[in-house]
Amino acid sequence: MNSELIVSAPPHIKSHETIGKLMGWTFLALLPVVLLDIYLFGGHAIRTISLSMIAAVLTEAAILMYRRMPVTVIDGSAALTGLILALTLPPKVPYWIPLVGGFLAITFGKQLFGGLGYNIFNPALVGRAMLFVSWPEILSNSWFAPLKELDAITSATPLMALREISAGNLIADISVVYKPLLFLNRGGCLGEISALLLILGGIILVSRKVIDWRIPVSFIGTVIFLSFFARTNILITLLGGGLLLGAFFLATDPVTSPVTRKGRVVYGIGCGLATMLIRLYSGYVEGVMFAILFMNSFVSLIDRYTLPKKYGLVKAK
Amino acid sequence: MKKELGKKPIEEASLPDEIVIPLSQNLGSPCKPLVEIKQRVLVGQKIGDSDGFVSAPVHSSVSGEVVAIEPRLSFSGDKVLSVIIAPDGNQETSSFSGFSESEAKDADKVRVAIREAGIVGLGGAAFPSHVKLSPPKDKPITDVIVNGCECEPYIAGDHRNILENAEIIIDGLKIIMRVLGAERGYIAIETNKIDAIHHMNNLVSSEGNMRVVPLSVKYPQGAEKQLIQVILDKEVPSGGIPCEVSALVHNVGTTIAISKAVREGKPLFERVLSVAGPGIKESKNLKVKIGTPVNHLIEECGGFKGEPGKVILGGPMTGFALFDLSVPIVKGTSGVVVFPREMTIASNPRACIRCGRCVQVCPVRIMPNFIGQYIEVGMIDRAEDADVMDCIECGLCGYVCPAQRPLIQLIRHAKAKIIADRKKGGS
Ligand code: SF4
Ligand code: SF4
């Protein structure tokens, strides 16, 4: 009897949190967006999303096998990278774009650094950025009208509209811009389809403590604050250009964001600042993406300068 | 589950066939045996002592015959020289007598009595109490805290002690305060033990310089330095001890033992502990003779429920997992917790995903994630710079980690190494 007792170091009880569960909640939070994508774009959405996920998972498995490491794809992290990458793509991209993207994301965004936990940059964004740099015209010209027409609206993306608006008529027609932004936004990437569903997903993640509210709040707060000063249309700035997707699902990737509470606020503010600078001073609609990648590179620095004040800081003599 | 156990009165555990009393049960120098094989001993008879100041003697918990003095497995997994006694069942007591009221006012005499009674911290650390009661002259103690926060899950011995022995606790606190010349006494109890708070409040109301401090339930509130922080709003300096902020913390059980040592001259040969957990038939609060083997207590509680997976000496957050149940209960054992096999899934550690959970829960606010990573790659000096020595080993970081990282294991390894290196450097 005695020989069968398990001996291990304390603690002997564990919270029920595991990496797999954290990933599971994130999938769940994104599910409404995915379902709406499938409803609106049908086979195109299914194809882009599934190919991206398959490519990410297979790449991860192959590299882990090659490195003779346990093949841990069951934790869902590669699949999640694939899904998030797909959500940053326009619905109608050639089938090889998500395939190549998933491969690039896992290879150059994650495994090259040593795998889960060791990467510096958000893998999905690394994949997205590499695609964007290599095939810019494909990634910006694949807007695709949903199968279900809801309103006859402009085919320009809201952020392009924003540039026009702020140039002249500040009063945007609510039915033309806000409504599609809040509910259905057909001109944009798969993950921008509905601001409401993204916010819902974000609330799920925050309430389940999967992500720290400090990052999205400071990120979005900074953007609101700056757009107030830059006199851009706050709602459009907020609801378009992947800001919500970025603030809730990309900037909050634990591996590539700070571990300290203070650090997360600093990081969120940095993301917001960088987003607005890129949006205002360059033509890139992709401000959010580059802003997050940019801030990723400062994470360890931020951690180092925001260490919590230790208990009993005064050392005993 | 814990609440229910808090309702169960303390029962006296039966005598086992064999009592194993390790001669080293606390920090500090081990004792030398004072008895011989075949010698008859009485309850409360001193059977081992040491000359070191930081040490406490050990006493027999039964009357009977010494059958062997040999190394036996102890809870830490090491073999420790132990006195093995076969109880005769008569429980014949050696004569001990308490102090008169006037003697009890003599601080030095009281300290000696506490040492002679072999009293150590019963909360787990097992630090000799008379040492704590002898602070350096330039650092007088003004605040004494009785720790009634049982923050580890499943364990309820202190809770029962407060309900059943409150007067003795108050008396013990008075003795401690008098020895130290302390001004204020606090009895800290967590708010999930409302009955204990009420009971204690009623008794303490007539004492001007004592009060009950209800505390929210927050692990590891019961840790010495954390208690001092919440009650006195002071932080013990890193690497220092509580007397540097004029404070002293004693556990409920220790306080009772101190009162009994002074009033009755009774040595520490029994203690209250909980045998509990989902893997035991009937959870109980037991008064147990020191030296009782763990398997005897498990039988006392009806045996295992299902197939046992883990048997832990102490609490589930910080205790030791046993591989052999012949290990005896020692003075510092606050509980025996059993988990069935199906609840002990093997953990599968992964790389840190930097989720920050450990950072947010660490009560001493160090960075368990980074420290763990440093130690993993052998950078013990970086871990030392990151204040790994301040870790109180509460186990919370490992508890919350979704990557199931063995943070405590790594931290203990580093601490042991640093202490060894410091010793080497010192000599
Ligand atoms: S065990 Fe972990 S949480 Fe507790 S003090 Fe040590 S490092 Fe901090
Ligand atoms: S809880 Fe675990 S995974 Fe999270 S930061 Fe700490 S060590 Fe890393």
Q: Do B347 and A11 touch (CB under 8 A)?
A: no
- Residues A257 and A229 both lie in one domain: yes
Mean pLDDT, chain B, as a whole number?
90
Rounded to whole angstroms, the Cα distance separating B141 from B236 reads: 13
Question: Would you place residue B119 in the very low, low, confident or very high pLDDT band (cuts 50, 70, 90)?
Answer: very high
Q: How many CB atoms lie within 10 A of CB A293?
A: 22
C-beta B352 within 6 A of ligand 2: yes
Q: What is the pLDDT of residues A15-57, one digit of tens each?
A: 888 999 999 999 999 999 999 999 888 899 999 999 999 999 9
What does A35-82 look like in DSSP terms, one character per residue?
HHHHHHHTHHHHHHHHHHHHHHHHHHHHHHHHTT----GGGSHHHHHH
Rounded to whole angstroms, the Cα distance separating A216 from A219 reads: 5
Identify the CATH class of B103-263.
alpha beta
C-beta B357 within 6 A of ligand 2: yes
Token look-up 């004072």 returns B34
A129 domain-assigned: yes
Closest residue of A to B394, CA-based? A11
Are B274 and B282 spatial neighbours (Cβ–Cβ below 8 Å)?
A: no
Is B362's pLDDT higher than 70? Answer: yes
CA B408 to chain centre: 19
Kindly report the protein residue whose alpha carbon is nearest to atom 1 of ligand 2. Answer: B401
- Residues A265 and A226 both lie in one domain: yes
The DSSP element (H or E) to which B252 belongs, if any, is helix B252-263
Phi/psi of residue A46, nearest 5 degrees: -60, -45
Residue B355 contacts by C-beta under 8 Å, 6 or more apart in sequence?
A22, A254, A259, B402, B403
Q: Which residues of A touch B316 (CB under 8 A)?
A: 10-13
Rounded to whole angstroms, the Cα distance separating B17 from B38 reads: 16
Phi/psi of residue A64, nearest 5 degrees: -65, -40
Q: What is the pLDDT of residues B78-99, one digit of tens each?
A: 889 999 999 998 898 887 887 8
A4 domain-assigned: no
Are A268 and A280 spatial neighbours (Cβ–Cβ below 8 Å)?
A: no
Please report which ligand is nearest the Cα atom of B405.
2
**Structure tokens, B263:** 């009033």
pLDDT at B336: 95
> How many Cα atoms are found within 13 Å in the side-chain-facing hemisphere of B401?
28
- Residues A27 and A101 both lie in one domain: yes
CA A46 to chain centre: 19
**Domain of A67?**
19-138
- Residues A97 and A204 both lie in one domain: no
- Residues A23 and A43 both lie in one domain: yes
For residue B368, the CA-to-ligand 1 centroid distance in Å is 7
Token look-up 């932004």 returns A181
Q: Which atom of ligand 1 is nearest to the CA of B392?
A: 5
Distance from CA of B94 to the nearest CA of A (A): 36
Residues in chain B: 427
- Residues A110 and A237 both lie in one domain: no
**Pick among B139, B280, B359 to test the A interface (most A CBs inside 10 A):** B359
Rounded to whole angstroms, the Cα distance separating A65 from A63 reads: 5
Are B146 and B173 spatial neighbours (Cβ–Cβ below 8 Å)?
A: yes
Rounded to whole angstroms, the Cα distance separating A37 from A299 reads: 33
Q: How many domains does chain A have?
A: 2
- Residues A122 and A201 both lie in one domain: no
Q: Do A255 and B354 touch (CB under 8 A)?
A: yes
Q: Of A2, A11, A21, which has the smallest distance from its Cβ to B395's Cβ?
A: A11
For residue B215, the CA-to-ligand 2 centroid distance in Å is 28
pLDDT at B296: 96
Q: What is the pLDDT of residues B236-292, one digit of tens each?
A: 888 788 888 899 999 999 999 999 999 999 999 999 999 999 999 999 999 999 999
Q: Do A117 and B311 touch (CB under 8 A)?
A: no
Q: Where are the domains of chain B?
A: 5-96+267-341, 103-263, 357-426
Q: Which of these, B172, B152, B176, B153, lies nearest to B162 by C-alpha position?
A: B172
**Pick among B354, B385, B413 to test the A interface (most A CBs inside 10 A):** B354
For residues B27 and A305, the model is more confident at A305
- Residues A297 and A278 both lie in one domain: yes
Is B350's pLDDT higher than 50? Answer: yes
Are A232 and A284 spatial neighbours (Cβ–Cβ below 8 Å)?
A: no
pLDDT at B281: 93
Q: Report yes or no: B336 at the A interface, CB cutoff 8 Å.
A: no
Helices (H) and strands (E) in chain B, counts: 13, 17
Q: Residue A119 region, left (φ>0) first, then alpha (ψ -120 to 50), else beta?
A: beta
Q: Which atom of ligand 2 is nearest to the CA of A259?
A: 5
Q: Which of these, B53, B88, B83, lies nearest to B67 by C-alpha position?
A: B83
* DSSP three-state, residue B1: coil
- Alpha helices for A67-157 (secondary structure H): 77-87, 96-109, 123-134, 136-140
Rounded to whole angstroms, the Cα distance separating B159 from B149 reads: 8
Strand partners, B286: B11, B273
Kindly report the protein residue whose alpha carbon is nearest to atom 3 of ligand 1. Answer: B362
- Residues A154 and A129 both lie in one domain: no
- Residues A161 and A293 both lie in one domain: yes
What are the b/e assignments for A185-212, b being 16+ CB within 10 Å?
Answer: bbbbbbbbbbbbbbbebbebbbebebbb
- Residues A84 and A155 both lie in one domain: no
**Pick among A14, A19, A22, A311 to test the B interface (most B CBs inside 10 A):** A311
Distance from CA of B36 to the nearest CA of A (A): 31
The pLDDT of B349-355, averaged and rounded, is 93
Look up the pTM and report it: 0.84
Final residue belonging to a domain, choices A120, A138, A156: A138
pLDDT at B274: 94
Residue type, A238: L
Are A298 and A170 spatial neighbours (Cβ–Cβ below 8 Å)?
A: no
Q: Report yes or no: B321 at the A interface, CB cutoff 8 Å.
A: yes
A46 domain-assigned: yes
Q: Which residues of A touch B241 (CB under 8 A)?
A: 316
Helices (H) and strands (E) in chain A, counts: 15, 0
Closest residue of A to B153, CA-based? A13
Q: In B34-96, which ranges are E strands?
A: 40-41, 46-49, 58-59, 64-73, 79-87
One fold for B5-96+267-341 and B103-263 = no
Q: How many CB atoms lie within 10 A of CB A183?
A: 15
A57 domain-assigned: yes
Q: What share of chain A is helix, strand, coil (3-state, %, to 5)?
A: 65, 0, 35
DSSP state of A284: -
- Residues A26 and A128 both lie in one domain: yes
* DSSP three-state, residue B104: helix
Rounded to whole angstroms, the Cα distance separating A212 from A206 reads: 6
Q: Which residues of A touch B354 (CB under 8 A)?
A: 117, 254-257, 259
Q: Which of these, A74, A102, A99, A90, lies nearest to A41 by C-alpha position?
A: A90
* DSSP three-state, residue A222: helix
Q: Do B406 and A9 touch (CB under 8 A)?
A: yes
Annotation: CATH topology of B5-96+267-341: Ubiquitin-like (UB roll) (3.10.20)
Burial class (CB in 10 A: 0-12, 13-18, 19+), A65: exposed
A214 domain-assigned: yes
* DSSP three-state, residue B368: helix
Q: Of B237, B357, B365, which has the smallest distance from its Cβ to A315's Cβ?
A: B237
A44 domain-assigned: yes
Q: How many CB atoms lie within 10 A of CB A50?
A: 14
Please report which ligand is nearest the Cα atom of B225.
1
Residue type, B100: S
Q: Report yes or no: B387 at the A interface, CB cutoff 8 Å.
A: yes
Token look-up 């279900």 returns A148
Residue ranges of chain A with per-residue pLDDT less than 50? 1-3, 142-156, 165-175, 315-317
Residue type, B230: V
For residue B402, the CA-to-ligand 2 centroid distance in Å is 7
The pLDDT of B115-132, averaged and rounded, is 87
Are A148 and A40 spatial neighbours (Cβ–Cβ below 8 Å)?
A: yes
